[in-house]
Amino acid sequence: MTADTMVTEPEIVCDNLVRIFKSEGIEVVALQGLDLVVPKGELMALVGASGSGKSTLLNVLSGLDIPSAGLAKVAGKDLLSMSGRDRVVYRRETVGFLFQQASANLFPYLTAVENIQVPMALDGRKRSERHPRAMELLDMLGIPECADRGLTQLSGGQQQRVALGVALANSPRVLLADEPTGELDTQSSDEVFAAIQRANAAYGTTVVVVTHDPLVSEHVQRTVGIRDGRTSSEVVRRGEIDEHGNEFVVAEEYAVLDRAGRLQLPREFTTALDMKDRVRLDLEADHIGVWPDGSRRAREQEVAGDE
Ligand SMILES: Nc1ncnc2c1ncn2[C@@H]1O[C@H](COP(=O)(O)OP(=O)(O)OP(=O)(O)O)[C@@H](O)[C@H]1O
């Protein structure tokens, strides 16, 4: 294969991913055929209502949970067929995880630099002296002066940046973050998100952030919406330059069309036109028209079809 014909495999591929939870005889389908492709090095956000399946998806991608069916591949590794042993190595080396609460990533009795060195020690390195990578990470996170501070001497935003350092300690290819700014004030959120952006740019780490925070979801290239366990919509942003040479961002919204031809119409659209149960489709030269059942246009079409 030549360099020209070589196609880079996406870093994350989910194809028709299903996760069913069974408890006390009741089945909950948390993921119902979810499709998602994330190219290497992308920083993207996942948004969706409570219960839509975001945490279930992150748990699958982080190797904590095993899906019921479908395909989930991260950094070329198949998460359904992976052995228990490979899963441990995968979680230590391939993915880093950042939780909403910084404390979930941190040991309270260790300093900032010691915390960042914990996963490195697990990786067969010595913890007794400062590891250059830990100091480099603290620099990149913008908190080198916090190296020897205990957690009680750090603000919430600084603690979350140390937690990010822990997640990045072993240079994971993929960083998964679940509401990383959810408990922070605006300035701290800003600092944590800026640190995530720097990590993405400096190390080429692919980043998936689950968020309700517009500061995050509106400042990434792509925001994917999840509804009822499926990817339903995407907003793609790109920078453009106006006639005065000023940069501005164009955001385009898409519905996701899966391989079976399914798409979810936005609820505001279907409610506005009182669409339910079934709709009439009309193939035009360059688009597909969707009409409410019983609308004048649908009836006209029916008559035209009969003639
Ligand atoms: N371990 C479990 N056992 C049974 N049902 C579960 C389990 N985990 C999640 N669910 C169900 O799966 C669905 C998706 O949950 P999930 O936590 O992934 O949603 P979410 O989008 O992350 O929500 P939130 O924003 O509130 O965290 C919900 O109906 C939830 O009740």
pLDDT at position 7, please?
65
Q: Is the CB of 26 under 6 A from ligand 1?
A: no
Query: Which atom belonging to ligand 1 lies closest to the Cα atom of 56?
Result: 18
Residues of the chain with pLDDT under 50: 1-2, 4-5
State the pLDDT at residue 153: 93
Q: How much distance in Å is there from the Cα of 23 to the middle of ligand 1?
A: 13
pLDDT in tens, 188-231: 999 999 999 999 999 999 999 999 888 888 889 899 999 999 99
pTM attached to this predicted model: 0.87
| Contact status, residue 52 vs residue 227, Cβ threshold 8 Å | yes
For position 297, what pLDDT does the model report? 66
Judge contact between 238 and 250, C-beta under 8 A. Answer: yes
| Spatial separation of the C-alpha atoms in residues 257 and 57, rounded to whole Å | 19
Cα separation of 8 and 14, whole Å? 16
Sequence-distant (6+) residues with CB within 8 A of 269 are 275
Q: Report domain extents, the chain.
A: 12-106+170-236, 265-307
CA atoms 270, 273, 277, 280: torsion sign:
negative
Q: 66 is written with which tokens?
A: 């095993």
Helix (H, G, I), strand (E, B) or coil at 36: strand
pLDDT confidence of residue 60: 96
Based on C-alpha coordinates, what's the Rg of the chain? 23
- CA torsion sign for 225, 228, 231, 232 is negative
For 40, the token pair is 């290497």
CA separation for the pair 114, 101 (Å, rounded): 19
Q: What is the ipTM of this complex?
A: 0.96
Q: Residue 50 CA to chain centroid, in angstroms?
A: 15
Q: Is 223 in the pocket of ligand 1 (CB under 6 A)?
A: no
The closest alpha carbon to 233, from 198, 268, 199, 204, belongs to 268
Residue nearest atom 16 in ligand 1 by C-alpha distance: 53
Please calculate the CA angle 139-144-150 and round it to the nearest 5 degrees: 135
pLDDT at 6: 56
pLDDT of residue 194: 94
**Residue of 55, 64, 101, 179 with the most ligand 1 atoms within 8 Å of its CB, for mutation:** 55
Q: pLDDT value at position 248?
A: 85
- In a 13 Å sphere around the CA of 291, the CA atoms on its Cβ side amount to 16
Going by alpha carbons, the residue nearest to atom 29 of ligand 1 is 51
Residue 185, phi then psi, degrees to nearest 5: -75, 170
Using alpha carbons, select from 115, 101, 184 the residue that is nearest to residue 146.
Answer: 115
Which atom of ligand 1 is found nearest the CA of 19?
12
The minimum-distance atom of ligand 1 relative to the CA of 229 is 14
Range 12-106+170-236: architecture per CATH: 3-Layer(aba) Sandwich (3.40)
| 27 Cα: distance to centroid of ligand 1 (angstroms) | 12
Per-residue model confidence (pLDDT) at position 243:
86
Cβ of 50 less than 6 Å from ligand 1: yes
Q: What is the pLDDT of residue 5?
A: 46
